[in-house]
Amino acid sequence: MNLHTKTWVQRLPVPIDVVWDFFSQPDNLARITPPEMFLRVDGGSTGKPIYEGMQLSYTLYPFMMIPVRWTTEIMRVSRPDFFEDRQLEGPYELWHHTHRFREIEGGTEMTDIVEYALPFDLLGEVVEALIVGRRLDEVFEYRRRKVAEILGGM
């Protein structure tokens, strides 16, 4: 299994508590996911903020209108500094996403760190190189733009 790591950083001109409140609401994920992925939260979201042990189920269409069911678990929460989630069921061999927030002058810096591995050894690495790595960058670029639109950008 080859582990890949991607990091994205964004600065927002709003207080850390505002950023935390937005990202700690699971239903906001659909607002910052490209619309062509048709992300739907199927279970686990009760309108409450995230908490350790919370499990969320989604259906999305990340590539060629093929539906993917995905279940994640919120592993660690330290308000307002970070939270971590991991895939319990889904398309990856491993998926671990750390969401970090820190106060900076004039606002908040948000850092997303995703560690992931694909199944199928060599075939998975080819798919990662040709499709998955690039698609993740596209998804997080869309996310950057939407978050800036919703919360403001620096």
pLDDT along the chain (154 residues), means of 10: 94 97 95 94 84 95 86 98 98 97 97 95 80 93 97 78
**What's the pLDDT score for residue 120?**
87
Q: In sequence order, what are the residues at sequence separation of 6 or more whose Cβ sits closer than 8 angstroms to the Cβ of residue 137?
A: 6
Q: How many domains does the chain have?
A: 1
Paired strand residues for 11: 109
**What's the pLDDT score for residue 8?**
98
**What's the pLDDT score for residue 154?**
60
**What's the pLDDT score for residue 5?**
97
User: What pTM was computed for the model?
Assistant: 0.92
Q: In sequence order, what are the residues at sequence separation of 6 or more whose Cβ sits closer than 8 angstroms to the Cβ of residue 26?
A: 41, 44, 45, 50, 54, 56
Residue 39 belongs to a domain with what CATH number?
Answer: 3.30.530.20
Domain residue limits at 53: 4-151
Paired strand residues for 104: 107
